[in-house]
Amino acid sequence: MNRAKHYEKHIFCLEGDWNDNLKVKSSILPALELLQINANVESVYKTCSTKTEFFARIHQLLSNKTKYGKYQIIYLAFHGFSGGIQISNDDEITLEEFAEEFEGKLENKMIHFGSCSTLKIHQNEITKFLRKTNALAISGYQKSIDFISSTVVDILFFELCQNFKSIKAIENNMYANYKQLCEQLEFKIYYNLNIED
């Protein structure tokens, strides 16, 4: 069933460098702090600059269900491209590589890409990702997005995730409450449509 085990879905976040200029302070960390203070959503936040580090961090999350089991949302805040994310200037990860690395290991996890265009791919590729990883859902954007407006949508989405177990209910409420923003940024959420709630 496309239902989370709990209403509370805390966040495990990996964030990359947004800018080569060391003086630029862009980060989604204040958004996570806002959620914790105002919606009681806890988070584990780590920066990440290599593919090896990226995979190791997620394996660490998945390896200890007692310690990290409540972190149902994996929030990946990186530059993106159609079908993947840019970890650094020299490192990128495609959805196919991601699914290969975590085959069958993402049960009850919602994967959210806070990145440009990552979900600008054929729905068959998204279906393959969901089936291969057993992820509960995958969400993100199908176009290039502005940092602040997309972070606002991320916050609204994560807040709604706390109110429902059903992914369909989260999706319906996201579009009912924030339709214009979702359409403007081409925000999408996918889950296995062959399984009924």
CA 70 → CA 44, 57, 120, distances in Å?
11, 16, 29
> Does residue 1 register a pLDDT over 70?
no
Mean pLDDT of 45-57: 95
Average pLDDT, the chain: 91
Mean pLDDT of 166-187: 96
Instruction: Give 86-101 pLDDT, tens digit per residue.
Output: 998 889 999 999 999 9
> Does residue 23 register a pLDDT over 80?
no
Residue 17's pLDDT is: 82
> Does residue 24 register a pLDDT over 80?
no
Mean pLDDT of 128-150: 96
In this structure, the number of other CB atoms found within 10 A of the CB of residue 115 comes to: 22
pTM, whole model, 2 decimals? 0.93
Please name the CATH architecture into which domain 11-190 falls: 3-Layer(aba) Sandwich (3.40)
Buried-exposed string 17-44: b where 16+ CB fall within 10 A, e elsewhere: beeeeeeeeebbeebbeebeeeeebebb
Instruction: Give 60-94 pLDDT, tens digit per residue.
Output: 999 998 899 999 999 999 999 999 999 988 899 99
- Asked if 163 contacts 145 with a C-beta cutoff of 8 angstroms, the reply is no
Kindly indicate the confidence band of residue 5, based on its pLDDT and cuts at 50, 70 and 90: confident
Rounded distance between C-alpha atoms, residue 119 and residue 141, angstroms: 6
What is the domain partition of the chain in residue ranges?
A: 11-190
Mean pLDDT of 121-129: 95
